[in-house]
A and B are shown apart, each in its own frame.
Chain A
Amino acid sequence: MARFIIRRLLQMVGVVAVLSVLLFAWLRSLPGGTVSAILGERATPETRAALTEAFGLDQPIYVQYLKFVQRAATGDFGVSTGVLPGTDALQIFVDRLPATIELSVAALGLAVLLAVPLGYLSARRSGSPLDSGLVILSLVGVAVPVFFLAFLLKYQFAVEWNWLPVSGRQDSLGCTRITNFFVLDGLMTREFDCSASALKHLVLPSLALATIPFAVIFRITRASVLEVLGEDYVRTAESKGLTARVVRARHVMRNALLPVVTTIGLQTGALLAGAVLTEKVFAWGGIGDALARAFEVRDYAVLQVLILAAAGIYVFINLLVDISYAIIDPRVRTR
């Protein structure tokens, strides 16, 4: 197990390293860039040249990369030029991460909590109207563009009915920040109105973000439960006269969850992508939002850090998935 984890960690470093080279070369081959983003219409050849030089963008790409690696080794991943000029890019990532995690956890939690039981139900009643309804719903869920759904949600729940806030993470209540997980912070500082406000703000974005993972997890769960229900060992369990609950939990779900866990891992990656859209439309100050902004203003340092980190997170989550897989599945664990 330990060997397996170390191996995967090393692979992860490899993936991120390769990616960093590609990313670096690619970003710098983009037309335009940081300098023109900063200067806008006001650019003159002199100011342009001066800034280009100041940023070291006039040097050959490999020199820039080596310098980047050198600095990165000391934990310096560059400074933002556009998203939050002057701020350490890594710091931006660290600051923004809690927002994205909060949103992703909420969305994924919502998706999993709904999808797994419904998937089970659907499989158990396969062929029934309920099953067909849920399946179609899940298919529609995938087919609706996220930003459109987000607009509809906001329009109905926030503007028309005024039940929930339109965007943002919290009302400006002057809340104390500790971890930047707003819900958690509110609980820790006993500023419960802060938590409540943060929770209210979470509802719509996480709903919007949850649709696709919900649909995917639902379908996997359904398919996987259907498959497991046909397995011999379920029949064995039934032949032993076990209660329906034990059969369901121990024999059906524990096996059916294996592919579901993998899918959840993959969906976490997809969530990061979905977050770009969702965070933008909900003005959610997370990584996705920062990424969109960094693209607009060609903030290389932030782009580098955020994309590498996103990749790292993705790979890391998949490592976690593999580990949890091993925990659930003894065939992997005891190999």
Chain B
Amino acid sequence: AESERDDSGGGDSGSSDLKDTFTFGAAGAPDVFDPLYATDGETFRITRQIHQGLLGITPGTADIQPELAESWEPSEDGLSWTFSLREGVTFSDGEPFDAEAVCYNMDRMYNQEGAGQQAAEYWTYFFGSFSDDPEGSLYDSCEATDESTAVINITRNTSSFPTILSLDSFSMQSPAALEAGDANNVQAQGEGFTYPEYSTNPVGVGPYVLESYDQANQTITLTANESYYGDAPATQNIVFRVIPDESTRRQELQAGSIDGYDLPNPVDWQGLEDDGNTVEIRDAFNILYMGLNPERNEALQDLRVRQAIAHALNREQLVQTQLPEGAQVASQFIPEAVSGYNPDLEPYPYDPDRAQELLAEAGQEDLTLTFAFPTEVSRPYMPDPQRIHDAFVQDLEAVGITVEVVSKPWNGGYLDDVSANGAYDAWLLGWTGDYNAADNFLGTFFSNLNQNDFHTSVMPWGETLSQDLQAADAIVDEGEREAAYQEINAQLRDEYLPGIPISHSPPALVVSGDVEGLTPSPLTAETFDTVTVSQ
């Protein structure tokens, strides 16, 4: 039921058997529309339709492709990157997109101050620090050599650059609008941040512009960007409706009032398909692992004990019975699509007898493990943590390990306990890749010797691993780098085993049968401009 008020924006797009609105059920409300300060998937899903970055992601893959930059070239030393920009692009407010704008954006991000630094979480995470602490920063400077050429200087070699420029947070936004909206004016007030006016009036170059955010009705409406440089979006409007409850999203889809939603429960996939919807299964780009803390439980410092645990876990059965179709047992800490994946590695086989032998060898027949899982959470790599945990508890008990079951709410102390407090011997956690680089996985887990969840610092190999990872990341040559990571992966499996990689689960996206043109992305970075909805 569409109202007559809707045809204000030229509803003549497409033929008459296509709807002019694609309605998507979102699980939560977006935070801010300035992607620099955004942190969560619900927000990025929206900003991705509005904003574009220098680099983009090839639909259906985790690989980068040109977007606002048509090509890029590193200098000899790999510290200067020259980007040739797409020409004739304007922001949706009419401002031109050029090298000046690129540098304005980069500098704006680099020059965050005060609360803005805390709020710009992704920058901190990927670029290290800001202009007030140049030492720690990956970014150095930006020069606009001519209108369509921008040079970005960085401070060290890393496999992540320029890939990270494809992240939504580092999208290009209109300098004029940023200025006008006082975009950097983030303030810590009380115990939260307040965001400037700009954050609700984003101006980007993407296929859509923000039309309205009806907070009262919990809907966000995007409409086609008239000045978009590419093909006009196939559907004029996108409406995001916030529906926090999973089964309600399903009912809404069934009732036809939304056209799709993200992360349908794996158990619903079949039913959804049966009801004529399309479940788009993305490639798995994540890892679920069981973390181990050898510092808290010294028995875990013995490789045999860790191996025993690996043999004890019936990961095959878990994947088959508890994880969505397409999930795989993990042999290493990175998914297959990531360069550096070692195809020769096999997962530790399920072998309870061997596990018991190993425990006996290590003299740990009476091993007790405090094994934790989070509640109040569902992650793509871990749709139902408890079920996974429960299966493992049985496996562990089967080989004579006493398990002390612990759970905490995800936001209610679990994460703190895992990383800051080191409160568990073993725990479940995982990671969804941001972009295609082994460092995004392995570096996150083990690079920081003194502060990582696995407490590798107490292990003799901890330091080596950390150094090897940093070295591998700095290798400029792709082939060499891949080989280095493959080697590290093999060591991680055979010699280190700091934790037990469990599985890679494919997250899905569901749309009604009327929807076409949606390409699922392993990074969950779908753009909706190609989507059509038939009547």
B234-258 interface (Cβ within 8 A of A): 239, 241-245, 247-248, 251-252, 254-257
A interface, CB within 8 angstroms of B: 30-34, 36-45, 47-48, 50-51, 54-57, 64, 67-68, 71, 76-81, 83-86, 88-89, 95, 98-99, 151, 154-155, 158-159, 162, 165-175, 177, 180, 182, 191, 193, 197, 280-283, 285, 289, 292-293, 296-301
Q: Is the CB of A43 within 8 A of B419?
A: yes
Question: Does B372 touch A at the CB level, under 8 Å?
Answer: no
Judge whether A34 and B3 touch: CB under 8 Å.
Answer: no
A83 — nearest CB in chain B belongs to which residue?
B29
Q: Is B193 a contact partner of A81 (Cβ separation < 8 A)? A: yes
- Interface pick from B77-85, B210-218, B306-314, B361-369: B210-218
Partner of B31, one of A51, A85, A170: A85
User: Closest CB-CB distance, A102 to chain B, in whole Å?
Assistant: 10
Residues of A within 8 A of B188 (CB): 54-56
Contact A79 B194 (CB under 8 A): yes
Smallest Cβ distance from A268 to chain B, in angstroms? 22
Nearest-neighbor residue (CB-CB) of B212 within chain A: A174
Are B251 and A31 in contact, with the CB atoms below 8 A? no
Q: Is B118 interfacial (CB 8 A cutoff)?
A: yes
B317 CB, nearest partner CB in chain A, Å = 26
Residue B156, interface by CB 8 Å: no
Least CB distance from B237 to A in Å reads 9
What separation, in Å, do the CA atoms of A81 and B195 have in the docked complex? 11
* Cβ A57 vs Cβ B429 within 8 A: no
Contact indicator A285/B190 (Cβ below 8 Å): no
Q: Which residues of B contact A41 (CB under 8 A)?
A: 415, 429-431
Query: Across the interface, which residues of A come within 8 angstroms of B416, CB to CB?
Result: 31-33, 36
Chain B residues with CB under 8 Å of A50's CB are 117-118, 124
Select the residue from B191, B195, B254 with max chain A CB neighbours within 10 A. Answer: B191
Residues of B within 8 A of A175 (CB): 5, 217
B115: contacting residue among A40, A54, A193, CB under 8 A: A54
Interface contact B420-A55, CB-CB below 8 Å: no
* A151-B247, A162-B255, A193-B3 given; A86·B199 CB < 8 A: yes
Let me know if B420 and A45 touch, CB within 8 A. Answer: yes
- Do residues B215 and A301 form an inter-chain contact, with CB atoms below 8 A? no
List, in ascending order, chain A residues with CB within 8 A of B349's CB: none
Contacting residues, chain B, for A83 (C-beta < 8 A): 29
Chain B contacts for A77, CB-based, 8 A: 190
Q: A32-B409, A79-B192 are in contact. Are A171 and B1 (CB under 8 A)?
A: yes
Q: Which of A32, A88, A169 has the most CB of B within 10 A?
A: A32
Contact call B244/A280, Cβ cutoff below 8 A:
yes
Measured CA separation A291–B452 after assembly (Å): 34
B320 within 8 A of partner (CB): no
Closest Cβ neighbor of B39 among chain A residues: A38
The 8 closest A-B pairs by CB, nearest first: A31-B413, A79-B192, A32-B413, A86-B195, A78-B190, A173-B3, A37-B411, A285-B218
Whether A34 contacts B191 by the Cβ 8 Å rule is: yes
Binding site for A on B (CB under 8 A): 1-3, 5-6, 8, 21, 23, 28-29, 31-32, 39-40, 115, 117-118, 121, 124-125, 188-195, 199, 212, 214-219, 221, 239, 241-245, 247-248, 251-252, 254-257, 376, 408-417, 419-420, 429-431, 448, 451
> Which residue of B is nearest A197, CB measured?
B1
> Whole-angstrom distance between the alpha carbons of A165 and B115 in the complex?
42
Interface-centre pick from A36, A88, A167, A174 (highest chain B CB count, 10 A)? A167
Asked if A285 and B429 sit within 8 Å, CB to CB, the answer is no
Given contacts A42-B121, A44-B451, A283-B244, contact A165 B255 (CB under 8 A): yes
A88 to B190, CA, bound (A): 10
Q: A33-B411, A85-B32 are in contact. Are A51 and B118 (CB under 8 A)?
A: yes
- In the complex, what residue of chain A is closest to B125 when comparing beta carbons? A42
Residues of B within 8 A of A32 (CB): 408-416
User: With A and B bound together, what is the CA distance between A197 and B5 in angstroms?
Assistant: 14
A193 to B28: give the CA distance in the assembly, Å: 27
**Residues of chain B contacted by A168 (CB below 8 angstroms):** 217-219, 241, 243, 257
Task: Enumerate chain A residues within 8 angstroms of B191, measured Cβ to Cβ.
Answer: 34, 55-57, 64, 78-79, 81, 300-301
A55 to B199 Cα, complex, angstroms: 20
In the complex, which residues of chain B have a beta carbon less than 8 angstroms from the beta carbon of A283? 218, 241-245, 248
B216–A47 CB distance below 8 A: no
Across-interface contacts of A297 in B (CB, < 8 A)? 411
Are the C-beta atoms of A47 and B125 separated by less than 8 Å? yes
- Known contacts A32-B409, A48-B420; A43/B415 CB under 8 A: yes
Q: In whole angstroms, what is the CA distance A36 to B431 when docked?
A: 15
Cβ–Cβ < 8 Å partners of A36 in chain B: 411, 413, 415-416
CA A158 – CA B254 in complex, angstroms? 9
Residue of B nearest to A168 (CB): B241
> Judging by beta carbons under 8 Å apart, are A98 and B216 in contact?
yes
| Cβ contacts under 8 Å, B194 to chain A | 79, 86, 88
* Contact partners of B376 in chain A: CB under 8 A: 296
A292 to chain B: which residues have CB within 8 Å?
Answer: 244
Identify B190's interface contact among A151, A171, A174, A301, CB under 8 A: A301
CB-nearest residue of chain B to A162: B255
Contact of A31 among B212, B219, B408, B448 (CB under 8 A): B408
Which residues of A have CB within 8 Å of B8?
174
Chain A residue nearest to B258 (CB atoms) is: A166
Bound complex: CA of A41 vs CA of B41, how far in Å? 13
Q: Pick the contact of B411: A78, A167, A296 (CB < 8 A).
A: A296
Q: Is the CB of B193 within 8 A of A85?
A: yes
Q: Which of B5, B21, B255, B417 contacts A166 (CB 8 A)?
A: B255
Q: What distance in Å separates the Cβ of A160 from its nearest Cβ neighbour in chain B?
A: 9
Which chain A residue has the least Cβ–Cβ distance from B239? A172
28 pairs, A vs B, C-beta closer than 8 Å: A38-B39, A38-B121, A41-B430, A56-B191, A76-B190, A78-B189, A81-B191, A86-B195, A86-B199, A99-B216, A155-B251, A166-B255, A168-B241, A171-B3, A172-B21, A172-B221, A172-B241, A173-B6, A175-B217, A177-B214, A180-B216, A193-B3, A280-B244, A281-B247, A293-B244, A296-B411, A297-B411, A298-B412
CA distance A71 to B191 in the complex (A): 11
Contact B251 A167 (CB under 8 A): yes
B195 touches A172 (CB 8 A): no
Q: Once the chains bind, are A285 and B215 in contact (CB under 8 Å)?
A: yes
* Given the contacts A172-B221, A182-B216, A85 and B411 also touching, CB distance less than 8 Å: no
Report whether A86 and B217 are in contact in the complex, using a CB–CB cutoff of 8 Å.
no
Interface centre among A40, A83, A86 (most CB of B within 10 A): A86
Residues of A within 8 A of B247 (CB): 151, 281
Interface centre among B23, B239, B251, B256, by most chain A C-beta atoms within 10 angstroms, is B251
User: Chain A contacts of B414 at CB under 8 A?
Assistant: 32
Residues in A neighbouring B417, C-beta threshold 8 A: 31
Residues of B within 8 A of A43 (CB): 415, 419-420
Instruction: Tell me, in angstroms, the Cα distance from A47 to B136 when the chains sit together.
Output: 14
Residues of B within 8 A of A56 (CB): 188, 190-191
**Interchain CA distance A297-B254 in the complex, whole Å:** 29
For A57, give the chain B residue with the smallest CB separation. B191
| Assembled-state Cα–Cα distance A54/B219 (Å) | 31
Residue of B nearest to A177 (CB): B216
Minimal Cβ-Cβ distance residue in A for B188: A54
Residues of B within 8 A of A296 (CB): 376, 411
Contact of B248 among A44, A80, A88, A166 (CB under 8 A): A166
A80's nearest neighbour on chain B, judged by CB, is B192
Given known A-B contacts A158-B255, A292-B244, A79 and B190 have beta carbons under 8 A apart? yes
Given A173-B3, A292-B244, A296-B411, A166:B257 Cβ within 8 A: yes
Indicate if the CB atoms of B5 and A173 lie closer than 8 Å.
yes
Q: In whole angstroms, how far apart are the Cα atoms of A43 and B448 in the complex? A: 13
Pair A31/B412 contact, Cβ less than 8 Å: yes
Contacts of B252 in A (CB 8 A): 166-167
Residue of B nearest to A56 (CB): B191
Residues of A within 8 A of B212 (CB): 174
